[in-house]
Amino acid sequence: MEIRKAAEAAGSGAPTAVQLEAINALAKARLNGEQVYVFSVRLCDDQMDRDHERFDPRALGKLAKLFIGKTGILDHKWSAGNQVARIFETQVVQEEGISYIKAWAYIRRGGANEEIIADIEAGIKKEVSVGCAMGRSVCSVCGSEYGTCGHVKGEVYDGQVCCAILQEPVDAYEFSFVAVPAQREAGVLKGLGSGQRTLKELAEEFGAQAEYRALFKEAELGRRYQKELEDSVVRLGLTLELGVTEPVLRNLAKRAAAEDLLALKEALEARVNEMLPVCTQLGGRVGKQEMLESGFLV
């Protein structure tokens, strides 16, 4: 899925010797410190945004590496004429419990670029939007693929606000100077690269939310039934002392289909009944003749 996030640029100035070496590793011709302008950019972080999405902090390290060498453009217009900067260094920074990607980019001095540099220094060109691709988006409430579980971003479940956690970085495209960051305007812009859409998205588009909610409730009942079958199989397996630990039994039960679990449950119940037949505490009086003296007479 394609992701665009708001970020921020901060002015800097001339590169250090170490930074210049990193820049020249990307440049075709050798550049000196007077030819380039360096500035820092705060990219995506692990906090929930206005669209109730956040990056998994474990994904930031890989994503930071993917941004090295990527271009800075204007208004997300993917053309050579709009290329103005390039990222040469990134790192993951942790401050006050927040993890984010900090990047350094350079602009070649001269010509029209001096206007861009002046705007950065003046704080006019400050907001940027970042484009990247993430492989997964999971629900913060249940851990399922977001869009398949029925939980809705922004809604509260047992005191927890649902959000989509972006995981498994695939690629970093660019960062762009924009007048209004995409996140502030309409949240994160994304689309599945395969062109496939979730059932929830289709239901919202075609006005079938009621049918979707009914299907979700039925699916929830099915999940509960599946969980009960898993618990029964684990309990019966431990009762029979099969020599298998509970984690192993539970892992096998989770992998089995519902019909297989039902057949296994019935087979285990039959074996338990054979080994541990149900007996009453008091014996019956079958075959014994009731004697008059054995009763109480009033």
Residue 131 has pLDDT above 90, yes or no: no
DSSP assigned state of 21 = H
Structure pTM? Answer: 0.56
pLDDT at residue 111 greater than cutoff 90: no
Domain, as residue range, for 16 = 2-135+167-192
Query: Would 32 be classed as within a structural domain?
Result: yes
Q: Measured between alpha carbons, how far is 127 from 211 in angstroms, rounded to an integer?
A: 41
What is the sign, positive or negative, of the torsion defined by CA atoms of 261, 266, 269, 270?
A: negative
Hey, how many other C-beta atoms are within 10 angstroms of the C-beta on 232? 18
Q: How far apart are CA 19 and CA 24, in angstroms?
A: 9
State the Cα–Cα distance between residues 152 and 154, nearest whole angstrom. 6
**Which phi and psi (to 5°) does residue 148 adopt?**
-110, -15
Question: What's the CA gap between 152 and 212, in Å, rounded?
Answer: 13
Average pLDDT of the chain, as a whole number:
79
Q: Given this model, what pLDDT does residue 195 score?
A: 39
Q: Are residues 130 and 6 in the same domain?
A: yes
In a domain, 64, yes or no: yes
Pairing of strands 164-177, 53-55: parallel
- State whether 171 and 270 are in the same domain: no
Question: Which pLDDT score is estimated for 161?
Answer: 94
- 53 and 186 co-located in one domain: yes
Exposed e or buried b for every residue in 103-126, given b needs 16+ CB within 10 A?
bbbbbbeeeeeeebbeebeeeebe
How many angstroms separate the Cα of 31 from the Cα of each of 37, 118, 158? 11, 21, 57
The two tokens of residue 177 are: 């100077």
94-98, 151-155, 259-263, 285-289: least confident range: 285-289
Q: How confident is the model at residue 77 (pLDDT cuts 50, 70, 90)?
A: low
- Tens digits of residue pLDDT in 201-212: 667 667 777 787
Ranked by mean pLDDT, the top range of 38-52, 59-73, 178-192, 270-284 is 59-73
In angstroms, how far is CA 77 from the centroid of its own chain?
28
Give mean pLDDT, residues 26-36: 89
Same domain, 18 and 91: yes
- Total domains in the chain come to 2
Q: Say if 131 falls within a structural domain.
A: yes
* 13 and 70 housed in the same domain: yes
Q: What confidence category does residue 291 fall into, taking pLDDT thresholds of 50, 70 and 90?
A: low
Percentage above 70 pLDDT, the chain:
78
Is the same domain home to 184 and 79? Answer: yes
Rounded to whole angstroms, the Cα distance separating 26 from 262 reads 61
For the stretch 32-38, contacts whose Cβ atoms lie closer than 8 Å and that sit 24 or more positions apart, written own/partner, are 34/109, 35/108, 35/109, 35/110, 36/106, 36/107, 36/108, 36/109, 37/12, 37/13, 37/106, 37/107, 37/108, 37/109, 37/113, 37/117, 37/120, 38/12, 38/13, 38/14, 38/104, 38/105, 38/106
How far is the C-alpha of 242 from the C-alpha of 239, rounded, in Å? 8
Question: Residue 285: its pLDDT value, please?
Answer: 56
Whether 103 is in a domain gets the answer yes
Res. 192 pLDDT band, cuts 50 70 90: very low
| 258: β partners | none
pLDDT of amino acid 273: 87
191 confidence band (pLDDT: 50, 70, 90): very low
Q: How confident is the model at residue 141 (pLDDT cuts 50, 70, 90)?
A: very high
